[in-house]
Chain A
Amino acid sequence: MALGRAGKTLHRMRRDNAFYLAVAPFLAIFLVFSVFPVIFSLYLGFNRWDGFSDPQWVGFENYARALRDPVFQKAIWNTVYMWFWSTVLTVLLALAISVLINDYVSFGKSYFRMVFLLPLLVAPAIAAIVLRMFFSANGGIVNLLSGAISGTPSYFDWLGSEAWIKPLVVLLVIWRWTGWYIIIFMAALQSIPRDIYEAARMDGVGRWAIFSRITLPLLLPAIAFATITATLGGLQMFDEPYVLTQGLGGTNNSATTLGMYLFATAFTRLNFGLGSAVSWYIFAAVVVLTLVYQASLKRLRGDGA
């Protein structure tokens, strides 16, 4: 019986051998360059290693040490701040813009569909360079403008300011990413059948009621997708704060994210074990938040029905 089953599987495998040939290149590269490093990272997290001498097994010491480090604690707070505000503001702004374009704009629709997308073509690192130029203390356009308004020349150091650097990172993320979510929401909006709206209008349902009772529930999957994507990016944020602060993390680490902490620990302080432990903390955060989103999406849908 068991033999018959194995024989059947073997027969299937022989008949569908092209399947294995087709996925082999992907799987081989994936195993060598993704699966192996991830497993190795798990091992590294339990060791102290500088890359030269022999690794030293330390158990959970790296995980405990990270938690005790005030810079790591600050990096958690900074990451949560940037992730939260960039996700909320980007998704809300994109939602508002796409609904407005869809419902109210009667001419120039293709202009609006393109224009918000252009920043997405700009590398985060390059966008950060441009933002640096505009917010530079000495002759940056923002200071020139505020100087002209107030009448006295302004030399405010935006990028060195502990209070402003995080909002600037958020601004950069909003500028670059809103267009993507607009495209996603527009696609979702267009898949909603027109006659639902027509019927609601005939029944005298107001605009806000149409939005909150019809549009919003139908957009929920798209909003969930956008939020999860923004969260995956937000928790690992590196390019934007790194370039904005020239790799230093800003005054008193006011813009150091977990990704930057990981980078500095591994590649400037050559502490590969501690860096790996940090990467598992990031992974845990991603898993927890994804599960939370999925659970809450299920509940929202359940309530709607």
Chain B
Amino acid sequence: MIGSLRNSEKRFNLLITLVLFALSIFFILPLYWTAVFATRTLNEVFQFPPPLWFGDNIVQNYRNIEAVFPPFRPIINSLIVAVPKTIGLVLVSALAGYGLSRYTRAPGHKAVLIVTFATLFFPPSLALIPFFLQMNALGWLNTYWPLIVPALASGFGVVWMYTYIGSTVPKELYEAAEMDGAKGIATFFFVVLPIIRPGLAALSVWTLISTWNDFQIPLVVISDGSKFTVPLALTTLSTTHYSDMPAVMLATLMGLVPVFILFALLSRQFIAGLTAGSVK
């Protein structure tokens, strides 16, 4: 009796697992097909049933992209933006997070903390127009500065580092450092930074990936095609060479590969970042 009950329960669990598996196909199929189509000819892509396995036309498709723009240029452009921005953002955030979590009794501490948390609820679209005019006034339009410098102050990053440092660095450590004569900022660089490396890594992955995917601000700021970041270059290619689906798919795939490599290497840190906001 109990045995058959267990059995039916097991069967039900298996059924649910299969349904979930079918659902998961819906989530990866578009990505898989992008990769398959990138290796196929135009004719093969328009056939029915569509190809499910890789073809051998990838070199020709690459040449077709080359005829429009150097295929690696947008990737390099995106790196030029994403790498310095990430390093800067992580440092600025960690420093502010350290200040907020250590000096809780400094006058003005509460005000800074409230402002930082409030920024999380501020829609970025509110600043879009004046931001554009400001960049214009600075002569920064069509350069990478607007994508890097203003982005260094991230309320999200500061909140993250503030909670992270608060939960990983024991207060006694600050007292010990003070006894050794280390000043506040020196303590940050020589004592705190080495301890919070996992938190820095998590914020870095998160920042790199979201910068890689940014669309609206680059669209507003960059007008010169040779300076386009990956999403801009791809949307342009997909409009101008709409009919050459395999080439567009290959370019798309190339733009995705760096992010997927990063994710494969640091998925744990990335996931830590996803849940960071929801803990509070």
Contact = CB atoms under 8 A, between A and B. Distances in A.
Tell me if B's interface is mostly helix, strand, loop or mixed.
helix
Contact of A133 (B153, B235, B249): B249
A55 to B, nearest CB: 11
Interface in B112-159: 112, 116, 119, 121-134, 136, 149-150, 152-153, 155, 158
A279 interface: yes
Interface string A29-71: 1101110111011001000000100000000000000000000
A282 interface: yes
A125 interface: yes
A302 interface: no
A104 B103 contact: no
Contacts of A183: 271, 274-275
B261 to A, nearest CB: 10
Interface size class, chain B? 35 or more
A221 B275 CA distance: 13
Nearest to B45: A139
Contact of A26 (B92, B256, B271, B275): B92
Contacts of A229: 277
Interface in A108-161: 108, 111-112, 114-119, 121-134, 136, 139, 141, 144-145, 147-148
A175 interface: yes
Interface of B: 12-13, 16-17, 19-21, 23-24, 26-28, 30-31, 33-34, 37, 45-50, 92-93, 95-96, 98-100, 102-103, 105-109, 112, 116, 119, 121-134, 136, 149-150, 152-153, 155, 158, 183-185, 187-188, 209, 212-216, 220, 230-231, 234-235, 238-239, 242, 245, 248-249, 252, 255-256, 259-260, 263, 267, 271, 274-275, 277-278
14 contacts: A19-B99, A19-B102, A26-B116, A30-B153, A30-B155, A37-B134, A108-B17, A111-B24, A118-B28, A118-B31, A126-B252, A130-B252, A144-B50, A183-B274
